[in-house]
Amino acid sequence: GESVGLHLPTLSVQEGDNSIINCAYSNSASDYFIWYKQESGKGPQFIIDIRSNMDKRQGQRVTVLLNKTVKHLSLQIAATQPGDSAVYFCAENIRGQNFVFGPGTRLSVLP
Amino acid sequence: EAGVVQSPRYKIIEKKQPVAFWCNPISGHNTLYWYLQNLGQGPELLIRYENEEAVDDSQLPKDRFSAERLKGVDSTLKIQPAELGDSAVYLCASSLRSQSGEQFFGPGTRLTVL
């Protein structure tokens, strides 16, 4: 069945450093992936998405990498800022079905 | 532009009582979603609407949960009767296109069942 998970439940990084948040998925049929950021007391906020015909996509300070061979997805945040502190979720989609969210990784930015 | 509006933000009830949540999506968004989020976990879809039609309610516990979106705009989610295990955050989201990855979430309603 579908399964989305994260390697690390918490991640602490120094302000200004780069952050890498990882996500593993088990269903090779998944063809669309998204990353969301959720700050305390708020709903998730869309960050970036990637389709399975791509292996890299860049946004503003963020890059998503997709490795279909090992079913791995990562979110890279450049020059991490205090405002990046949040829980990050990856989610997968199979051919237009509903999105399945992973459990999340908490990112803490240290001053 | 106003985002997705949800009310109430917090609700505390005793078990076996009914409770209702309200959501007003972003104007022009035809697709509306209700999610349940337990502490420390990702959102889980309960129901998805395309306009006023519930196109996927397979994860909605229909013995106690119900939802409606009568005019294809705002929506209500009801639980009757509530159980202790229903304590969670109930999130509403909307999107311009069906099954878009870019869903806009409201702040959620935190339900505590005592």
Does A98 contact B99 at a Cβ distance shorter than 8 Å? Answer: yes
Q: What is the pLDDT of residues B48-57, one digit of tens each?
A: 999 999 999 9
Cα–Cα dist B60/A44, whole Å: 21
Residues of A numbered 19-78 whose beta carbons fall under 8 angstroms of chain B's beta carbons: which are they? 32, 34, 41-46, 49
CA pair distance A24, A7, nearest whole angstrom? 7
Residue closest to A111 by CA, chosen among A86, A83, A88: A83
Chain A residue closest in CA terms to B10? A41
More confident residue, A17 or B97: A17
Determine the longest span between alpha carbons in chain B, in angstroms. 38
Distance from the Cα of B109 to chain A's closest Cα (Å) equals 10
Q: Which CATH class is domain A4-110?
A: mainly beta
Q: Quick check: B63 contacting A, CB < 8 Å?
A: no
- Helix or strand or coil: residue A8? coil
pLDDT tens per residue across span A82-110: 999 999 999 999 887 888 998 899 999 99
Q: Which domain holds residue B48?
A: 5-113
* Confidence at residue A21, expressed as pLDDT on a 0 to 100 scale: 96
Q: How far apart are CA A70 and CA B55, in angstroms?
A: 33
Residue B97 is predicted with a pLDDT of 82
**Contact: B42, A91; criterion CB under 8 Å:** yes
List all residues of chain A from 74 to 103 with a beta carbon under 8 Å from chain B: 89, 91, 93, 96-99, 101-103
Domains of chain A, residue spans: 4-110
The alpha-carbon radius of gyration of chain A (Å, integer) is: 13
CA distance B40 to B24: 26
As for how many domains chain B has, the answer is 1
Q: Is the pLDDT of residue A56 over 90?
A: yes
Give per-residue pLDDT as tens, B38-79. Answer: 988 999 999 999 999 999 999 999 999 999 998 889 999 999
For residue B72, the model assigns a pLDDT of 85
SS3 (DSSP) at B85: helix
Report d(CA A62, CA A57) in Å as an integer: 9
Helices (H), B1-114: none
Choose, out of B7, B32, B92, B100, the residue to mutate when testing the contact with A (most A CBs < 10 Å).
B100
pLDDT of B1: 63
